[in-house]
Amino acid sequence: AALSSAVGNTSGVDLTTGIGLASDLGSGSVHIFSRQTSDLFTLDTTTAGTTLVGNISGAGSVNSICENVDLCNLVTEYGAGCAGAGGFVPSLAFNGCPAPSATVSVDIAGGVGGAMAAILLGTGMGSTPLGSGCDLLLSGVSPVAIVVPLGGAGNGNGSVSLPATLPATLPSGSFTLQAFCGDGTTGLGFSVTNGVQVTLP
C-alpha cells in the first residue's frame, strides 16, 4: 500500500495553473516547477520549504533534471497534438535523461480511457497534415509501432507509462516519437500527441 504523510505547507510557489514535480537524477532531490510563473524551486522534503533556483522562461513543464544538465537538454518536445473526445489533447513525454544505463519512461496522457494507442518512431521531425487538424510530426517513420492499451476510464483519462532501462552502451544519434490514440469521435478515428525528439549522447 502507498503511504504518505504531511510535512508542512509549501509557500512561495504560485499554484494558479498547476505545478510540475521533477526528481534530480543526479542527487535525488526534488524540484517544483510553477507553470504560472515558470519558476523552478528545490523542495526540502522534511520541512516542505522551498528555495528558488531560477526562472525557466518559455518552459511548459519539467519532467526530470539531471546532474549533468546537458543530458536533459537532449529531450525536446515539439509540435502540437490534436484534440479527441471531450476536447482533450493527448500528450507524449519522454521522462528521464537519455544516458547509458539510465531509467527512463515514455508516457502518454490525456487519451480516451481503455482505447489503444500506437507509438510511432521516426528518424527526424516532420509536419505532414493528416486532416481534421492533425499532423504527422515525424519523418523517416519506422514500419514498426509500439501498440499499448491506455488505462483509466473516460475522455481525457487514458494514460500509460512504459518504463525502460537504457543499455550501458548507447549509439550516438537521435530519434523521434509520436503517439496516435484511438478515438472514434474524430474524423480520422484517432487523436495525436505532440512529438518528442531524443538525442543519444
Q: What is the pLDDT of residues 112-156, one digit of tens each?
A: 999 999 999 999 999 999 998 899 999 999 999 999 999 989 998
- CB atoms inside a 10 Å sphere around CB 36: 12
Confidence of residue 59 (pLDDT cuts 50, 70, 90): low
Question: Is residue 170's pLDDT more than 50?
Answer: yes
Question: When comparing pLDDT for 187 and 29, which is higher?
Answer: 187
pLDDT, residue 183, reads 93
C-alpha cell read off for 127: 509536419
Confidence of residue 68 (pLDDT cuts 50, 70, 90): very low
pLDDT, residue 66, reads 47
77: nearest Cα among 168, 177, 9, 159:
177
Q: Per-residue pLDDT averaged across 15-33, rounded?
A: 68
Pinpoint the alpha helices (H) of the chain.
Answer: 69-72
Q: Which residues, 6 or more positions from 26, have their beta carbon under 8 angstroms from its beta carbon?
A: 65, 66, 67, 68
pLDDT, residue 29, reads 67
pLDDT, residue 26, reads 47
The burial of 144, by beta-carbon neighbours within 10 Å (0-12 exposed, 13-18 middle, 19 or more buried), is given as: exposed
CB 24 within 8 A of CB 44: no
pLDDT, residue 172, reads 87
Question: When comparing pLDDT for 90 and 47, which is higher?
Answer: 90
d(CA 92, CA 8): 32
Question: Is residue 162's pLDDT more than 80?
Answer: yes
Q: Per-residue pLDDT averaged across 87-115, rounded?
A: 92
pLDDT, residue 201, reads 75
Q: Amino acid identity, residue 69?
A: V
Pinpoint the alpha helices (H) of 62-108.
Answer: 69-72
Question: When comparing pLDDT for 89 and 65, which is higher?
Answer: 89
Question: Is residue 70's pLDDT more than 50?
Answer: no
Q: Which residues, 6 or more positions from 69, have their beta carbon under 8 angstroms from its beta carbon?
A: none
Q: Per-residue pLDDT averaged across 151-164, rounded?
A: 92
